[in-house]
Structure formats: structure tokens, C-alpha cells
Amino acid sequence: MINDINEISPDLVVITGDLTDFGYVFEYEEAKRYVDEIECERKVIVPGNHDARNLGYLLFEEFFGKRLKTLNYKNITVVGVDSSEPDIDEGHIGREKYEYIEESFNGENFKIFALHHHLLPVPMCGRERNVPVDAGDILELLDRLKVDLVLCGHRHVPWVWRLNNMIILNAGTTCTNRTKGRIGRSYNLIELDEGMRIYRISPTGERNMVIDEKRITEVR
């Protein structure tokens, strides 16, 4: 998979968490070696619920930097937040982060919000228990800020929702065998120019179009 990503030569890589299973040091060391093999200097990485276990949320900052971050590239703004809570699976963004999110998205850039937990229920996942407790408030905030794209994961099921003018893109899983049914592993490739195209790519390299649409904001 890393060879495939390096062949694509992306301008930006976003990883929405669960780089480890239990948040142990040796897992973080292995994850860091793995991520460093991706030949892209612009990476936005946020922790997942597994990464926060066993004080792993502290190790995350040691290996991958702040758990709340903003990256501006050309006229794209990516805001990544930590939605995890130590040693529990439920998600929570927290009102103390709302002002930071609002200030970071102050402008006309193409706006991408990244977190681990899914903001809307995902089908084929059984009983829903892990949507962030403040999902409604954060969705209202993102909609009001005219965020274009939300990137999340957690459920290991790739899916896409549209809420008003916002695309909410759930990633599957790339590395674990904890998949559901025959859904299989995958990652998402997003192309932005005068339009936005989203592809779902399998470990075999098979590429399936998920979204193809025109946009108002042009990436220069």
C-alpha cells in the first residue's frame, strides 16, 4: 500500500487514527516507521480511540505531534482534532475546541475537517454506540462554517454521506484484518482541482469512483 501511495505522490496525506491497538510504546514506534515510509512532507494525523489507551494519548504527541492541528496548503485548510477519550471507545470533540475550529476555518479556502470518530451512523455496523456525544453540535458548527469535506474512520466501513453542501467521508481500514463481511480493506484518494473526485482504492490497486462533482472553490 505504501508503494502505491508513493507512486501516486500525494500533496497531502490525512490519517484519521488507530495507528496502534493498545497505545503501547512499541506499537507507536512501529507505526512511526510505517508512516515515515510515506513520501509526503505534509501529513495530518489525528489519534483514534485505540491510540488513547494506556496513556497512549501522551505518546501520540511524542511521535506525531499535537492532537489539535491546522495545515494550510495552497488554498486548502485542513483542521485535525482529537475525538478520543482515554480508555473508552466513545468519541467527544469538546466545546473547548470549537473556538479553535472556528478560527482555523476563517477564510474562503477549501475546508477539510479530520477526526477519528464518525459524525453520522454508518450502515452495516450493527448497534450504534460510538458517534461522538457532541456530534450534533459539531455538525452544526461545521455546516455553519461551510466546511466542504469531513474525513473520519473508526467503523472500518467505507461510506459517504452528504449533509447540505458538506461531504462526510468515512474511511475503511488499510492495515487490519478486522473487516466486516467481505467489505475488505481500502483507503481513499481525493483529487481537487476545478472539481472534486474521490476514489476508493483496494490493496490490489483497484480504484472505484465514489464522488465526482464540480466545486466553486478552485485549488490553485
Range 34-53 average pLDDT = 95
Burial class (CB in 10 A: 0-12, 13-18, 19+), 12: middle
Residue indicated by cell numbers 483497484: 206
Tell me: pLDDT of 216 over 50. Answer: no
Query: Looking at per-residue confidence, does 114 or 183 come out higher?
Result: 114
Please write the tens of the pLDDT for every residue from 144-165.
999 999 999 877 687 788 999 9
Of 60, 68, 72, 53, the C-alpha closest to 35 is 60
> Considering the chain, what percentage of its residues have pLDDT values greater than 90?
58
- Whether the predicted pLDDT of 220 surpasses 50: no
Residue 60 CB coordination number (10 Å): 26
- Domain 2-177 falls in which CATH fold? Purple Acid Phosphatase; chain A, domain 2 (3.60.21)
Mean pLDDT, the chain, rounded, equals 87
Task: Report whether 148 contacts 114 (CB < 8 A).
Answer: no
- Per domain, the residue ranges of the chain are 2-177
What is the SS3 assignment for 27-87?
A: HHHHHHHHHHCCCCCCEEECCCCCCCHHHHHHHHHHHHCCCCEEEEECCEEEEECCCCECC
pLDDT, tens digit (0-9, with 9 covering 90-100), for 97-116: 999 999 999 988 999 999 99
Identify the residue with better confidence: 17 or 102. Answer: 102
Q: Which residue has the cell 467505507?
A: 158
pTM for this one? Answer: 0.89
Among 25-39, 44-58, 190-204, the minimum mean pLDDT is found in 190-204
CB 69 within 8 A of CB 55: no
> Exposed/middle/buried for 59, CB within 10 Å: 0-12, 13-18, 19+?
buried
**Span 193-200, mean pLDDT?**
89
Give the pLDDT mean for 19-27. 95
What is residue 128's predicted lDDT score, i.e. its pLDDT?
A: 58
